[in-house]
Structure 1
Amino acid sequence: MGTSTSSRGPGGDSPLVPPWADKDGQGPGPIPPPQRFKEFRKSLGKFVSGGNHSDLRAALGKYAGTATGGNTVGPRRFGSMAHAGGALFDALTGSQDGRETPSLDLTTLNGQDTDLAIDIIIRALLPNDGDDDRIRIAMNEALSECLDGYAEFDFSHITDEMLVQMMLAYVGRCVFGQVVLDSKDAFARAESSAQAETAEADLLALVEAATDKHMRPLLSGNVRMFNRTQIADAQLRAITEVWTEWEAYLHD
């Protein structure tokens, strides 16, 4: 999955919501508790080394409930990612509905190699902030999944279900990427690269199941009626519901 077994990760005294993610203008959130990631990383490391899924659930419960500030604050950390996801959705639906996206003439991409077109879209939409690396990876994964099987790019082939799958993949990858970043050296507890990869795959599967469960219902009906703001709001609402579910793991 391309995730290193050790990430720098934020320090325990870093703000719950960094400035670039504060899209709602509510500020950095309350002062975080000391060593707020400690118990999350400890439980995740235990899962990585032992493979017990109860430890994974405990880790995510601590991540949502303590490390990120709970379901009223934690999802705000994804403000920039959700904003970029709204721009991605708007770009793909706008190409078919006659709307233009600044700096991105999608009509020129039809017939291009799909991988090249994906790269052009990402470069046009990628923000320049502290989350740009995770956004780039999430966009690439989401677009690659959406357009799997198409050697050449053609927006007319994009169906409503493909748009839904793209957004589910995007949100799942954003959440997964942030959890891994915040894990610091938890994955270094693995005894082998294969064990680390298995742990990452299990974490990703759980994240994807949760995001699908909570976001898919928010995209029901005519998905093309959503604008970028509504899609951004839907992402944050889904993440809030995921956080609520994960916090409940603490009471298992």
Structure 2
Amino acid sequence: ECLDGIDEFDFNQISSDMIIDLMLNYTEQYLFQQIVLDSRAAFDKADTPENVASLEQDLRSLINSSVDKHMSKQLKNGANSLTRKDIENIQMKALEDIWGEWEDYLND
């Protein structure tokens, strides 16, 4: 997704914004997979394939907006100075926040 609109990959054209987009996309995919695995019981309660698809779509939407809310600004503000540990901490904080929001959503 972060390379949309680029016909031919050119390493020299990679920008900080592209790297940040790649990190955000990776985090979104990782969080989605992790939450689906960890909350299998919630998906098992969905009685039809349509309800499962709806839950998955709602989860993706929540993750996309939450990752944007919790990570985009931090990554863009510190793009050139973040350490691996800083990025891990940002991702873990986002995961905790998203879990809380997802659990609230399921309990409504």
Query: Normalising to structure 1: TM-score of the pair?
Result: 0.35
Gapped regions of structure 2 (runs ≥ 5): none
| Contact 1:214 1:242 (C-alpha < 8 Å) held by counterparts | no
Structure 2 Cα separation of the partners of residues 248 and 178 of structure 1: 14
RMSD: 3.0
Q: Report the Cα offset of residue 215 of structure 1.
A: 1.0
Structure 2 Cα separation of the partners of residues 238 and 205 of structure 1: 14
Letter of the structure 2 residue corresponding to residue 167 of structure 1: M
Query: Normalising to structure 2: TM-score of the pair?
Result: 0.71
Task: State the match for 2:101 in structure 1.
Answer: 246
Letter of the structure 1 residue corresponding to residue 46 of structure 2: R
Structure 1 Cα separation of the partners of residues 39 and 23 of structure 2: 24
Task: State the match for 2:28 in structure 1.
Answer: 172
Q: Report the Cα offset of residue 223 of structure 1.
A: 0.7
Letter of the structure 2 residue corresponding to residue 191 of structure 1: T
Whichever of the two has the greater Rg, that structure is 1
Change (3 A) 1:249 1:183: closer
Structure 2 Cα separation of the partners of residues 238 and 248 of structure 1: 14
1:206 and 2:62 equivalent? Answer: yes
Report the 3-state secondary structure (helix = DSSP H, G, I; strand = E; otherwise coil) of the residue aligned with 2:80.
Answer: helix
| Contact 2:2 2:22 (C-alpha < 8 Å) held by counterparts | yes
Task: State the match for 2:48 in structure 1.
Answer: 191
Report the 3-state secondary structure (helix = DSSP H, G, I; strand = E; otherwise coil) of the residue aligned with 1:220.
Answer: helix
Structure with more of its chain in helix, by fraction:
2
Task: State the match for 2:18 in structure 1.
Answer: 162
Gapped regions of structure 1 (runs ≥ 5): 1-144
